[in-house]
């Protein structure tokens, strides 16, 4: 047993911190905590957080990441739930592949792994059974990593089927219009091959679909540009939610970073996009934030033109740093990483007395090779200093994880 006295506990209703003492059990096999009472007046207790967009690469690409290594990276930073994306091998587009991934995910108990099923060119006839097993759908409107692109015609057919099935599961869209990418495919620089117009045009299409299918739940993930925000500001969106990633707030084409390391889809944009995306997250125009953790081995990332970068472990400290810098309110940060994802997946709310994370918002976190838990062992955020690393994770009233600071 340990008593955390004068702890600042987030009150979901009041949307503020309230001072309280909290008595917790300790899992002595996992946590060495000898004090009976800790003065917790500097510590914050938050609900366990979500990352609604990760690629844990298993099955098929275990040399990049496994569900276990990715989950530990997430959990060590305060994330208890992730949505895993379907571009694994086999692709998660059938009941069999979903079941297989769930079995792998059950071997670790760090995080709850929700499974996104791909909507593909071939599986629209199997959606009735897939609907019983998946937690969300993912639509790759254009090629990214893995062969998953699907024609607009098949997307429409799949949406009509999901509407008939009265699906309430969120449909995640990677929004880049393949016709616009085709027009720019001979450009030399990655970000010119995939211009912001491609994202904007895809978003316009998704807005049309969201109006045609008012009972389905649409979600556009990893919004990267100011042009997209201009369109979304004007839109009437009742059944459409949005997220962006810290990389689109922290980095742009002028950031000093190797061009291969920088390569990601959609690409990094400009400083003005960083600013507008942060502002849109702060005002709530962008509902949520995700990492789009997409690890590759450092060798293949450095030597090949391959898109994607890690970020699951950096998600929480990068957002808390924005709060500490006065650029984001706590209320918005917790909404973006907890309340709205809970609603999106229709999950019950966590009881903050038994499931919570405890952190000191001011403790510096340096992203170093030693700190990184992802199997990739590299990060675009390497050598950056954040604040707000989780110290303890509590599940079912028991402290089950402690970070060395």
- Interface positions with Zn ion (CB under 5 A): 292
Q: What distance in Å separates the CA atoms of residue 245 and residue 240, rounded to the nearest whole number?
A: 17
How many Cβ atoms sit within 10 Å of the Cβ of residue 216?
Answer: 22
Q: Which residue, 177 or 292, has its beta carbon nearer to Zn ion?
A: 292
- Cβ at position 186, least distance to Zn ion in Å: 25
The strand pairing partners of 321, in sequence order, are: none
- Cβ at position 92, least distance to Zn ion in Å: 13
Q: Which residue, 52 or 232, has its beta carbon nearer to Zn ion?
A: 52
Q: What distance in Å separates the CA atoms of residue 375 and residue 175, rounded to the nearest whole number?
A: 28
Cα 195 to chain centroid distance, Å, stands at 23
The residue number with the shortest CB distance to Zn ion is 292
Question: What order of strands is seen across the sheet that includes strand 49-54?
Answer: 49-54, 79-84, 112-118, 136-140, 171-174, 218-220, 240-244, 288-289
Q: Which residue, 135 or 292, has its beta carbon nearer to Zn ion?
A: 292
- Cβ at position 174, least distance to Zn ion in Å: 7
Q: Which residue, 38 or 117, has its beta carbon nearer to Zn ion?
A: 117
- Cβ at position 377, least distance to Zn ion in Å: 20
Helices (H), 263-380: 271-283, 298-303, 315-324, 330-334, 340-344
Q: What distance in Å separates the CA atoms of residue 34 and residue 31, rounded to the nearest whole number?
A: 9
Q: Which residue, 65 or 394, has its beta carbon nearer to Zn ion?
A: 65
- Cβ at position 48, least distance to Zn ion in Å: 22
- Cβ at position 62, least distance to Zn ion in Å: 18
My answer on whether omega of the bond before 90 falls inside 30° of 0, hence cis, is: yes
Strand, coil or helix: 262: helix
């Amino acid at each position: 047993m340990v008593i955390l006295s004068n702890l600042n506990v987030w009150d979901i209703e009041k949307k503020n911190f309230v001072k309280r003492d909290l008595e917790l059990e300790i899992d002595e096999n996992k946590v060495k905590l000898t004090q009976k009472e800790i003065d917790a007046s500097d510590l914050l207790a938050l609900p366990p957080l979500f990352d609604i967009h990760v690629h844990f690469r298993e099955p098929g690409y275990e040399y990049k990441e496994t569900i276990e290594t990715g989950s530990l990276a997430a959990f060590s930073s305060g994330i208890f739930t992730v949505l895993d994306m379907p571009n694994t091998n086999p692709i998660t587009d059938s009941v069999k592949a979903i079941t297989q991934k769930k079995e792998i995910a059950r071997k670790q108990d760090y995080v709850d792994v929700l499974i996104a099923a791909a909507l593909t060119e071939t599986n629209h006839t199997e959606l009735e059974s897939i609907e019983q097993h998946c937690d969300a759908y993912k639509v790759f409107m254009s090629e990214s990593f893995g062969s998953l692109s699907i024609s607009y015609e098949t997307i429409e057919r799949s949406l009509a089927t999901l509407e008939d099935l009265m699906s309430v599961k969120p449909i995640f869209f990677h929004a880049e219009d393949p016709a616009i990418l085709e027009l720019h495919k001979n450009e030399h620089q990655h970000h010119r091959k995939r211009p912001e117009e491609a994202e904007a045009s895809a978003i316009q299409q998704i807005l049309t679909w969201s109006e045609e299918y008012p009972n389905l739940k649409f979600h556009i993930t990893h919004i990267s540009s100011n042009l997209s925000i201009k369109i979304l500001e004007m839109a009437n969106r009742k059944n459409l939610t949005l997220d962006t990633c810290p990389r689109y707030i922290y980095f742009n084409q002028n950031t000093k970073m190797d061009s291969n390391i920088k390569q990601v889809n959609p690409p990094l944009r400009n400083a003005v996009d960083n600013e507008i995306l942060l502002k849109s997250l702060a005002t709530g125009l962008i509902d949520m934030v995700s990492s789009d953790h997409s690890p590759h081995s450092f060798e293949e990332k450095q030597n090949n033109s391959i898109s994607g970068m890690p970020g699951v472990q950096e998600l929480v400290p990068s957002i808390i740093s924005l709060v500490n810098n006065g650029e984001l309110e706590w209320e918005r940060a917790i909404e973006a990483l907890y309340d709205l994802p809970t609603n999106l997946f229709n999950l019950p709310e966590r009881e903050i007395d038994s499931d919570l994370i405890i952190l000191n918002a001011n403790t510096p976190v340096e992203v170093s090779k030693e700190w990184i838990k992802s199997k990739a062992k590299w990060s675009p955020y390497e050598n950056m200093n954040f604040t707000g690393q989780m110290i303890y994770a509590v599940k079912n009233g028991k402290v089950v994880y402690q970070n060395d600071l």
